[in-house]
Amino acid sequence: MATTIADDLRPMHHPKTWVGKYVWSQDHKVIAIQYGVTAIAIGLVALVLSVLMRLQLGFPGLFPWIQPENYLQYVSMHGMIMVVYLLTALLLGGFGNYMIPLMIGARDMVFPFVNMLSYWIYLLSVLVLVSGFFVPGGPTGAGWTLYPPQAISEGTPGNQWGIVTMLGSLAIFIIAFTMGGLNYVTTVLQARTRGMTLMRMPLTVWGIFIASIMGLLAFPALFVAAIMMLLDHLLGSSFFMPAMMTMGQESNTQGGSPLLFQHLFWFFGHPEVYIVALPAFGIVSDLISVHARKNIFGYRMMVWAIVIIGGLSFLVWAHHMYVSGMNPYFGFFFATSTLIIAIPTAIKVYNWLLTLWRGDIHLRVPMLFAIAFLFTFIHGGLTGLFLGNVSVDVPLSDTFFVVGHFHMVMGVSPILVIFGAIYHWYPKITGRMWNETLGQVHFWVTFLGVYAVYLPMHYLGILGVPRRYYALGETSFIPESAHLANEAISVAAIIVFAAQFLFFYNMIWNLLRGPKADPNPWGAASLEWQTPQTPPGHGNWGPHLPTVYRWAYDYSVPHASRDFIPQNEPPSAEAPSEEAAL
Amino acid sequence: MSLISRLAEKSWENPGIAEYREPDSYRPAAATVGVYVYFGVATVIFTLIAAAYLVRMGIPSAVDHGTGEDWSPMPEPPLLWINTGILVLSSLAWEAATRASRRDDVTRMRSMVMAGNALGVLFLVGQVLLWWHYQTAGYYLSANPANAFFYLLTAIHGLHLAGGIFAGGRTLGQMAMRADGQRICRNVRLCTIYWHYLLAVWLLLAALLVVT
């Protein structure tokens, strides 16, 4: 499309009014910020819910207004909001929108109107989700997995209206995501500037690109499951609902298969882990390379690993269902495929470490978050190997070990990357610089705090402390130390929660009053740092699109005049030095 | 250059631009790429519903937990075949429009686009009549899982076709406003591909409903 890949600026829709520029905007950067702000706002709701959960678990009985049904509602809403409405939306809708056109040298997404529509439909999905708090009975308390029959049966909180708002919101979100995802994939395939080959793209774009393809193929499973459960609930069909007795009454459903829902849910649910992880992998690769002043180690292998992880993630979904009952051969297959994923993942981890090895490491705040990600991801990945084995998973299933594992691997790890990415790109996005000291304090409290929260959960899980329980009560196999650990976890969680306000203060205050940022404060080689204006103007590149001459990782090139060579710098500019090298 | 050789490129070697052409000179239009990417999404949706259909009806080899004791197939009224015929004609009309666009025969292209779209609308009307026929005969959605799957599949297919009709209508609007001819021809070709895709999906779904 001419607007995104050509030098002709006439077809671009230059906004003339404030509303056109900031509200109904078709500019990918504005849409990215809209996505980001909305995702963080709803993420804050989920964060507050997690604090409420921790208050109850750490100090049971101290807060009488938290009733068992409220606790289950907090668990359910927290999980779904964090996974779908925060992480997916922020990494793909936020960073995907902002970074893809800038990093590949395009003026915008290829379908700007659809892109705008995607955001507004996403916002609608968030509003429908939030409406669940205000309907009779409150939001669903079925757990974030929404398993039928309990999700729509009598006795489960929010089984009348809450589940409807949740399923409806998910269906709307998936429509929004499909619009966005089509844009991201097509833009990468179609709108790369001259010289930007697939293998010259930064790994951030690779991560978002493959995650978008995965999202386009995985979200339909959740869409189908949500629609079918809505029909079961509202129109009395029996896709998932078996014959059963509810409150002494025989239900009018029969023959439905709850396991069918589980298969559909996890066919989406497991790839979803990587839909969140792959953009984080890509971003962290770029942060490490830039702040270690060293080219990424094994670039090709990193790209292939992203593609292979994306493919394999569709073959492992039933490892979430070991305790649901399955043929032992299926269990063997899914355990094997799960463990195989560890190979490309380990390749990535080794390559990150080897990039750091003998690098000129600058321990700025974005780099601290990137290195912290390595800790939490290795930690969460290794506990994933435990849970991937059927025989180990069965006793640990539905315990706090699982909670500790998945929060480390797909909660904390991507969130740390998101923080690192915000600190890294903030100067480009806003044109201002944040406060280093506040950033450092935010980092250390968050990093040490999340370890204080999630490490003890593994211990609780090995003791057999079950998840999703409102209160443990007098349970003989749970020692006093577990109660003490729960209190400590809750205190740590509250401290981590409070520390996030330092981040918001740092970002908002410096947006208004912060010092002007250098257009390329980190000396990064990728294209988004080479825009003629900071923040980039409408159309990104001025009158002419950039031409790309090299990959995005030319750092510390021997005998080059600077310690980085931008992607759009022609070889001739460096020629004398390169000749000198010979 | 094949995809494998693109992914094998050693991009850290040989910085330069000489071997790379202007992207405009060889890449297909974004809309074309977008439609093909969307086919992937739609295919997953229909495949998953078809898989759920097979599991729910209780084919033992499909998955070990198939149930299906309560499964009772729906009858096949003649309207099902009439609607299928209308969709085939609609797809043929779009094909004729594409061929006319290649010959720069604007008049025939316009009439065929109108015919393709009108037949698409007629197909949707026929599907609604089919629903009404089943409803009056007592085949309610809640009465049987086979019924529920029929309504679900036809609704999602119908919504996809409604999207196609919207795109077709937009193309007609562009013709009326004498927009860029190249763009109109491209849109006609995309609508044609989309229609063929939905016809293929419908034939497979109809076969699934009839055979089972």
Position A51 scores a pLDDT of 98
Using DSSP, state whether B151 is helix, strand or coil: helix
Asked, for residue B73, whether it belongs to a domain, the answer is no
Nearest to B119 by CA among B151, B97, B150, B152: B97
Read off the pLDDT of residues A341-388 as tens digits, 9 standing for 90 and up. 999 999 999 999 999 999 999 999 999 999 999 999 999 999 999 999
pLDDT higher than threshold 90 for residue A327: no
CB distance from A190 to chain B under 8 Å?
Answer: yes
Using DSSP, state whether B69 is helix, strand or coil: coil
Read off the pLDDT of residues A157-170 as tens digits, 9 standing for 90 and up. 999 999 999 999 99
| Cβ separation A110–B152 shorter than 8 A | no
| Cβ separation B17–A326 shorter than 8 A | no
Position A254 scores a pLDDT of 80
Tokens read off for A191: 């709108």
Q: Which residues of B touch A298 (CB under 8 A)?
A: none
| Cβ separation A553–B12 shorter than 8 A | yes
Position B20 scores a pLDDT of 80
Read off the pLDDT of residues A515-573 as tens digits, 9 standing for 90 and up. 999 999 999 999 999 999 999 999 999 999 999 999 999 999 998 999 999 999 999 76
B128-143 average pLDDT score = 94
What Å distances lie between residue A206 and A282, A285, A306, B38, B125, CA to CA? 7, 11, 8, 20, 44
Q: Which long-range contacts (CB under 8 A, 24 or more apart) does B203-208 make?
A: B203/B84, B204/B46, B204/B50, B205/B46, B205/B50, B205/B153, B205/B154, B205/B157, B206/B80, B206/B84, B208/B50, B208/B53
Nearest to A550 by CA among B23, B5, B10: B10
Position A60 scores a pLDDT of 92
- Minimum mean pLDDT among A63-67, B118-122, B139-143: which range? B139-143
Residue A60 phi/psi, 5-degree rounding, is -60, 135
Q: Decide which of A440 and A242 is more confident.
A: A440
Position A20 scores a pLDDT of 82
CA–CA dist B184, B105 (Å, integer): 13
Alpha carbon of A144: minimum distance to chain B alpha carbons (Å)? 21
- Minimum mean pLDDT among A289-293, A516-520, B162-166, B173-177: which range? B173-177
SS3 for A239-263 is: CCCCCCEECCEECCCCCCCHHHHHH
CA–CA dist A28, A115 (Å, integer): 8
| Cβ separation B148–A185 shorter than 8 A | no
ipTM above 0.90, yes or no: yes
CA–CA dist B41, B49 (Å, integer): 13
Cα torsion through B195, B196, B199, B200, rounded to 10:
-140
> Are B70 and A238 spatial neighbours (Cβ–Cβ below 8 Å)?
yes
pLDDT higher than threshold 90 for residue A223: yes
What Å distances lie between residue A290 and A102, A121, A359, A529, A560, CA to CA? 17, 35, 10, 12, 16
Position A1 scores a pLDDT of 42
Q: Which residues of B touch A327 (CB under 8 A)?
A: 64
Read off the pLDDT of residues A44-101 as tens digits, 9 standing for 90 and up. 999 999 999 999 999 998 999 999 999 999 999 999 999 999 999 999 999 999 999 9
The neighbour count for residue A61, using CB atoms within 10 Å, is 8
* Chain A interface, best mutation among B21, B37, B45, by max A CB count within 10 A: B37
Of chain A, the percentage scoring pLDDT greater than 90 comes to 87
Read off the pLDDT of residues A238-274 as tens digits, 9 standing for 90 and up. 999 988 887 788 877 788 899 999 999 999 999 999 9
* Beta bridge pairs of residue A399: A466
CA–CA dist A220, A4 (Å, integer): 28
Residues in CB range of A272: below 8 A, 6 or more apart? A83, A84, A88, A218
Tell which B residues from 28 to 47 touch A, by Cβ distance under 8 Å: 28-31, 33-34, 37-38, 40-41, 44-45
Of chain A, the percentage scoring pLDDT greater than 70 comes to 96
pLDDT higher than threshold 80 for residue A155: yes
CA–CA dist A567, A286 (Å, integer): 14
Asked, for residue B155, whether it belongs to a domain, the answer is yes
Position A572 scores a pLDDT of 75
Question: For residue B166, what are the domain limits?
Answer: 78-211
CA angle A11, A12, A14 (to 5 degrees): 130
CA–CA dist A29, A34 (Å, integer): 9
The confidence band for A12, taking pLDDT boundaries of 50, 70 and 90, is low
Read off the pLDDT of residues A114-133 as tens digits, 9 standing for 90 and up. 999 999 999 999 999 999 99
Asked, for residue B31, whether it belongs to a domain, the answer is no
Asked, for residue B70, whether it belongs to a domain, the answer is no
CA–CA dist A92, A466 (Å, integer): 33
Alpha carbon of A67: minimum distance to chain B alpha carbons (Å)? 35
Compute the radius of gyration of chain B from its Cα atoms. 22
CATH code of residue B146: 1.20.120.80
Alpha carbon of B146: minimum distance to chain A alpha carbons (Å)? 10
Burial bucket for residue A558 (CB in 10 Å: 0-12, 13-18, 19+)? exposed
Position A579 scores a pLDDT of 43
What Å distances lie between residue B135 and A123, A230, A236, B128, B143, CA to CA? 36, 20, 15, 10, 11
Burial bucket for residue A428 (CB in 10 Å: 0-12, 13-18, 19+)? buried
pLDDT higher than threshold 60 for residue A32: yes
Asked, for residue B30, whether it belongs to a domain, the answer is no
CA–CA dist B8, B21 (Å, integer): 19
The confidence band for A577, taking pLDDT boundaries of 50, 70 and 90, is very low
Distance, C-alpha A391 to centroid of its chain? 30
| Cβ separation A257–B64 shorter than 8 A | no
Nearest to A457 by CA among A401, A396, A500: A401
Asked, for residue B62, whether it belongs to a domain, the answer is no
pLDDT higher than threshold 60 for residue B155: yes
Tokens read off for A288: 């490490």
Read off the pLDDT of residues A443-465 as tens digits, 9 standing for 90 and up. 999 999 999 999 999 999 999 99
Asked, for residue B64, whether it belongs to a domain, the answer is no
B188-209 average pLDDT score = 96
pLDDT higher than threshold 70 for residue B60: no
Residues in CB range of A53: below 8 A, 6 or more apart? A71, A74, A75, A78
The confidence band for A575, taking pLDDT boundaries of 50, 70 and 90, is low
* Chain A interface, best mutation among B1, B11, B135, B156, by max A CB count within 10 A: B11
Place of tokens 């979200």: A219
CB distance from A564 to chain B under 8 Å?
Answer: no
Positive or negative CA dihedral for A462, A463, A466, A469?
Answer: negative
Please tell me the total count of domains within chain B: 1
Domains of chain A (ranges; CATH) run 23-237 (1.20.210.10), 296-517 (1.20.210.10), 525-582 (no CATH)
| Cβ separation B71–A223 shorter than 8 A | no
The confidence band for B21, taking pLDDT boundaries of 50, 70 and 90, is confident
The neighbour count for residue A328, using CB atoms within 10 Å, is 8
CB distance from A268 to chain B under 8 Å?
Answer: no
The confidence band for A581, taking pLDDT boundaries of 50, 70 and 90, is very low
Asked, for residue B47, whether it belongs to a domain, the answer is no
Position B68 scores a pLDDT of 60
Nearest to A130 by CA among A98, A101, A173: A173
pLDDT higher than threshold 70 for residue B62: no
Position B182 scores a pLDDT of 87
| Cβ separation B40–A217 shorter than 8 A | yes
The confidence band for A6, taking pLDDT boundaries of 50, 70 and 90, is low
Cα torsion through B119, B122, B126, B127, rounded to 10:
80
